[in-house]
Amino acid sequence: MTDKTEHISAEKAQHVPVPGAAGLRRDVTVWGSYMWGYADVGADIYAALGLVIAATQGGAVAAFALAGIVYIMIGLAYTELAAAYPVAGGGQYFSLRGLGDFWGFVCGSALLLDYTIDIALFTVASAGYINFFFPVLKTTTVDFGPFRNVAIVWCIEAIIMTLILIWLNMRGMRESSLVNEILGAIDIISESGIIIFGFIFAWQPDLLASQWQWQVAHWDWRQFMYGSSLAIISFVGLESISQAAQETRRPATIVPRTSIALIFTVFIFAISFSTLSLGILPWKEFVGHEGDPIAMLVNRVPYIGMVAGPFTALLGATILFISANSGVMSASRLTFSMSQFHFISPWFDKVHPKYRTPVRTIAIFSSIGIVQIALAFLFGQDAAMEILGNMYAFGATLGYSLVFVALIRLRFRDPYTPRPYKMPLNLRIRYHGREIDLPILGFIGTAGVLFVFAEVVITHDIGRIAGPTWVILCFLYYAWYRKSKQLPIIKNIKRDWEADQKAVLLSAEEFELLEHYKLALAERDRLLKKQAGHDAKENGRKF
Amino acid sequence: MLKLSKRNYFEIATSFLFFVLGLVIFIRSLRETGFILGMGVGVAFVAYGVFRLRYIWRFFISRGQKS
């Protein structure tokens, strides 16, 4: 691949600062970093369980296992990249570094789609758990012209919750690390308790086996592909690893430890809940309970069900609301990062004169979330969450595919940046006189996530239309913006990545890695000089 | 002598519980149905318990060496 860097005027080729490097304090601890990720990713199972069981029926465990294996590889890729490049831009930044401006933008727009869906899906799911206490709210429906069974109250609840989030974020409410830690700890204790009690007192292996056998007898590949691609949404939120890395002191040491623990915790909980669900209840019981599957399940566990059911519903509503809030905040961070790299106008970053919050970003992307909620509910009472899940899966798999390709390319393009953690399974090869670790697991992961992406495109009727439409609309804006600023549309703006990397490592207090980086660059320069001298000598002999 | 916090005790207890629970799931799946997915989940739990216990053990070892 050739590097299509456009050398533009000195003014435009100015050094581009790393987003947030100067603005965010690094004061997140090991436990805080772990819980930050858990509050984001751990909430997903509350929304995904009912959708995946409704789609895959008796095959839900296999669907979660398939998506989970792909997720583990994505998680390991994020761990490597976040430890090497501890900046908050996440997938968009990694794709930009590895693949250039255009693909960095595409990844950013896919993740931006996911953040708007995150706001919509998690407020809908949070309202679903509130409705566990008032089932009549969920079942109150009206007909709007051609649209039947529109769950109007549930829809209004979700919109009101989004408006509350907009108001809170505009006023400057910040997601406190302490709140995340407390809620995350309560959630882990509760989920562990549910799993232990459930498996000991209620789980029936024969029910699980009979549902699987029934499923095998009635196997439908398309339905399974649909369900397993939906299962990926129970693992979305890995961007939080890189966001936490931006605010963690000594991220090279802390990020690999916490993120690997987080990845396996989320995986084991997702597998446990699907196994437990199908070993306690027939899959048909979950149909119509896409809004509150875990509360419904826990309510059926002997001894603890009476108390734990409502408690879980309350916990689910809270943690999903916080997850929706993280969507609002992440959209702001991402648009800030994208404007720093000239992907979108800095107009989006305008801060409120009094509250010092990015009001435009908050208003625009949360409003898009409200539109998505309204549109999703038009398709019927039980379809809203499924439609939002459809689009969520598209954005996530597109973004993750690009991150994998970026990881592989960065191993070749930037072998000088120290990698405190590397994905396992590497093959050492020589490339341009330098030893490179070829990431075998990176290739397997790319194939895995592309497979899930293909599943989404093949089976998600709405996602395959709405997802690309979103990316194309974003691209049209990007092309217009770059053209108006006389910046290249497909080619790259010249940036001083080496200076940025040094600044990042310095701000992260990774002094040892900084020294390694400087030494690697010096060695590269020495070899280049030697090569240039050798070439000059050869040319002298010829002429 | 290493001093353990409440969180350390909680982590050790849950890791050990996951290990035991994995064994229970595996044995019940094997005896009652021989269902491979159920047994797989049991093995996953055991592996997760071992992973966490090993992680905690290594953390204490490194802390012990530092002190």
Could you tell me if B33 lies within 8 Å of chain A, comparing CB atoms?
yes
**Residue from A64, A206, A273 whose CB has the most chain B CBs within 10 Å, to mutate:** A206
Q: What's the pTM value of the predicted model, to 2 decimals? A: 0.89
Out of B24, B40, B48, the one facing A199 most closely (by C-beta) is: B24
Tens of pLDDT, residues A116-146: 999 999 999 999 999 999 999 988 999 988 8
- Rounded Cα distance between A372 and A116, Å, is 8
Q: Highest-confidence range of A24-28, A486-490, A537-541, by mean pLDDT?
A: A486-490
Residue A7 has pLDDT above 70, yes or no: no
Nearest to A268 by CA among A442, A401, A71: A71
Tens of pLDDT, residues A458-471: 999 999 999 999 99
- Work out the pLDDT band at A25, boundaries 50, 70, 90: low
Tens of pLDDT, residues A140-167: 999 988 888 899 999 999 999 999 999 9
Tens of pLDDT, residues A226-254: 999 999 988 887 777 777 777 777 888 88
Q: Supply the pLDDT for residue A500.
A: 92
Residue B8 has pLDDT above 70, yes or no: yes
- Work out the pLDDT band at A18, boundaries 50, 70, 90: very low
- Work out the pLDDT band at A184, boundaries 50, 70, 90: confident
- Average confidence (pLDDT) over A373-381: 90
Q: Supply the pLDDT for residue B2.
A: 64
Could you tell me if B25 lies within 8 Å of chain A, comparing CB atoms?
yes
Residue A5 has pLDDT above 50, yes or no: no
- Average confidence (pLDDT) over A103-115: 95
| Greater pLDDT, A534 or B49 | B49
ipTM of the complex: 0.85
| Greater pLDDT, A525 or B67 | A525
Tens of pLDDT, residues A481-501: 999 999 999 999 999 999 999
Q: In chain B, what residues touch A268 (CB-CB under 8 Å)?
A: 18, 44-45, 48
Could you tell me if A203 lies within 8 Å of chain B, comparing CB atoms?
yes
CB within 8 Å: A212 and B37: yes
Q: In chain B, what residues touch A195 (CB-CB under 8 Å)?
A: 21
Q: In chain A, what residues touch B11 (CB-CB under 8 Å)?
A: none
Mean pLDDT for all residues in chain A: 88
CB within 8 Å: A268 and B33: no
Sign of the dihedral defined by the CA atoms of residues A121, A123, A126, A128, in that order = negative
- Work out the pLDDT band at B66, boundaries 50, 70, 90: low
Residue A427 has pLDDT above 60, yes or no: yes
Out of A61, A200, A272, the one facing B37 most closely (by C-beta) is: A61
Tens of pLDDT, residues A186-215: 888 888 888 888 998 999 999 999 999 999
CB within 8 Å: A199 and B25: yes
Q: Supply the pLDDT for residue A507.
A: 87
Q: In chain A, what residues touch B44 (CB-CB under 8 Å)?
A: 268, 271
- Give yes or no for a contact between A347 and A363, defined as CB atoms under 8 angstroms apart: no
Q: Supply the pLDDT for residue A49.
A: 95
Amino acid at A498: E
B54: closest chain A residue by CA: A261
Out of B14, B33, B45, the one facing A205 most closely (by C-beta) is: B33
Mean pLDDT for all residues in chain B: 84
Q: Supply the pLDDT for residue A254.
A: 84
- Average confidence (pLDDT) over A521-529: 91
Q: Supply the pLDDT for residue A16.
A: 43
Q: Supply the pLDDT for residue A172.
A: 73
Nearest to A169 by CA among A344, A320, A21, A356: A356
CB within 8 Å: A275 and B32: no
Q: What are residue A147's DSSP bridge partners?
A: A144
Q: What are residue A292's DSSP bridge partners?
A: none
Q: In chain B, what residues touch A271 (CB-CB under 8 Å)?
A: 41, 44
Percent of chain A with pLDDT over 70: 93
The secondary structure of A339-387, three-state, reads HHCCCCCHHHHCCCCCCCCCHHHHHHHHHHHHHHHHHHHCCCCCCHHHH
B65–chain A nearest CA distance, Å: 17
Could you tell me if B18 lies within 8 Å of chain A, comparing CB atoms?
yes
Domain layout of chain A by residue ranges: 5-405+463-498, 510-543
Q: Supply the pLDDT for residue A245.
A: 77
Q: Supply the pLDDT for residue A112.
A: 94
Q: Supply the pLDDT for residue A21.
A: 44
**Residue from B20, B25, B41, B54 whose CB has the most chain A CBs within 10 Å, to mutate:** B41
Q: Supply the pLDDT for residue A12.
A: 41
- Give yes or no for a contact between A438 and A427, defined as CB atoms under 8 angstroms apart: yes
Nearest to A374 by CA among A204, A144, A205, A531: A144
Q: Supply the pLDDT for residue A344.
A: 95
Tell me yes or no: is domain A5-405+463-498 CATH 1.20.1740.10. Answer: yes
Could you tell me if A195 lies within 8 Å of chain B, comparing CB atoms?
yes
- Average confidence (pLDDT) over A314-338: 88
CB within 8 Å: B38 and A272: no
Tens of pLDDT, residues A40-73: 788 899 999 999 999 999 999 999 999 999 999 9
Could you tell me if B19 lies within 8 Å of chain A, comparing CB atoms?
no
Q: Supply the pLDDT for residue A337.
A: 87
Annotate A35-46 with b (16+ C-beta within 10 A) or e (fewer).
bbbbbbbbbbbb
Tens of pLDDT, residues B15-48: 898 899 999 999 999 998 888 888 999 999 999 8
- Rounded Cα distance between A292 and A335, Å, is 32
Q: In chain B, what residues touch A200 (CB-CB under 8 Å)?
A: 21, 24
Which stretch of A18-32, A51-65, A507-521 has the lowest confidence by average pLDDT?
Answer: A18-32
Could you tell me if A268 lies within 8 Å of chain B, comparing CB atoms?
yes
- Work out the pLDDT band at A332, boundaries 50, 70, 90: confident
Amino acid at A68: G
